[in-house]
Chain A
Amino acid sequence: MPQEKIKRIFRYVDVPELPELYSRLDAAIVDSNSTTASISAIIAEDTALAKCLVKLANCTLFRFSSRIETIDSAIDNIGARQIGDLALSVLILRMFDGMDPDIVSMQSYWRHSFACGITARILAAHRGEPNIERFFLAGLLHDIGGLLFYVHIPEQALMAILRARDGNGPLHHQEREIVGFDHALLGKVILQSWHLPEALQEAVEHHHTPELASTYAVEAATLHVADIIINAMQYGSRGEFIVSPVHPEAWERLGLPVSILQPTMEQIDYQFNSIVKVFFGEYCGGIV
């Protein structure tokens, strides 16, 4: 990305910092000497986070035959990396708690983001991807740039939404024309500043332009398709009120038959309320 563009982005936007606890948690997860107990001890420093993760382990995302009672058990059953990604989702949600831009309702924004995360996770499961929680996180974060647009440059963001609504083309095109870059690029820059994996960065950057993704083309294609499905199902919105065309190459890249759409949509409807209830419950933020 040209340095000039990055400078321009930071002139507009203050990127918030990730909580310090996550840096330690992430370091522990990648450290081969770590144990379940040592990872769980870091999570346990934040009681509300630990309770939220245990609740998540018992929601409809996972269907364990017996109840998960402790964070140790959640790590053993779901996986340390996966729990780390879910923890990050909770922490990010909390970071934006209290933010209330006038342009778009936060409820609508988070409904859209959560539904996209659930959909990306289901598509990844259909493909047999090893860490489907990473896709959930990618979906949750795919429009994070849009959120900072609303907070830092509300007038331009509103102008882009209105122009898109008046039929002048997709919202991200309007953003590029008005601001000089779109929410997808800003999202990538935010994830980069948080030192999150490149797969997440590239997927977020190219969720509207999956044909431009190179190393993580499947991740970008998954987000692209998930975003379209969720717009079609009208689960919230961040200002886009139409279903964008699906990029044929992205759909092909997923290697999934059209027949998976019906069970996917049924699963989304089944999982959505239960997951949102956990994330927005007393331990996880309570934004909505």
Chain B
Amino acid sequence: MTLEHVKKMDAVTPRQENEQFIYPECPQDILERVQHEMGDLFRHANHEHPMMRELHRLCIERRIRQLTRDS
């Protein structure tokens, strides 16, 4: 595995701090848009359930990938 691979993995592997997902390499405008969209979509979700937390995280990642691919 090269350094480039590690960087790519970092880009889609968030750290979780205080229940917030942090995506260090995502452009700020895209991150804000995705967090707004996903926050709205998941507003009634039960985040105390591990399945829901993982689903929310994966959907943020997927949406970031979609938007960075399109931009």
Q: What is the interface of chain B mostly: helix, strand, loop, or mixed? A: helix
Q: Are A232 and B50 in contact (CB under 8 A)?
A: no
A-B contact count (CB 8 A): 55
Interface residue stretch chosen among A82-90, A191-199, A208-216, A242-250: A242-250
Interface residue stretch chosen among A5-13, A103-111, A257-265: A257-265
Q: Which of B15-71 contact A (CB under 8 A)?
A: 40-46, 49-52, 54-56, 58-59, 62
Complex Cα spacing A246 to B42, Å? 11
A residues with a Cβ closer than 8 A to B are 170, 225, 228-229, 231-234, 241-246, 248, 251, 258, 261-262, 265, 269
Q: How many B residues have CB within 8 A of the partner chain?
A: 17
Complex Cα spacing A37 to B44, Å? 52
> Which residue from chain B places its CB closest to the CB of A245 in the assembled complex?
B46
Q: Are B42 and A232 in contact (CB under 8 A)?
A: yes
Q: Are A242 and B41 in contact (CB under 8 A)?
A: yes
Contact of A245 among B45, B50, B54 (CB under 8 A): B45
Q: Are B49 and A261 in contact (CB under 8 A)?
A: no
**Which residues of chain A are within 8 angstroms of B54 by Cβ–Cβ distance?**
258, 261-262
The minimal Cβ–Cβ distance linking B4 to chain A, given in whole angstroms, is: 22
Q: Are A244 and B44 in contact (CB under 8 A)?
A: yes
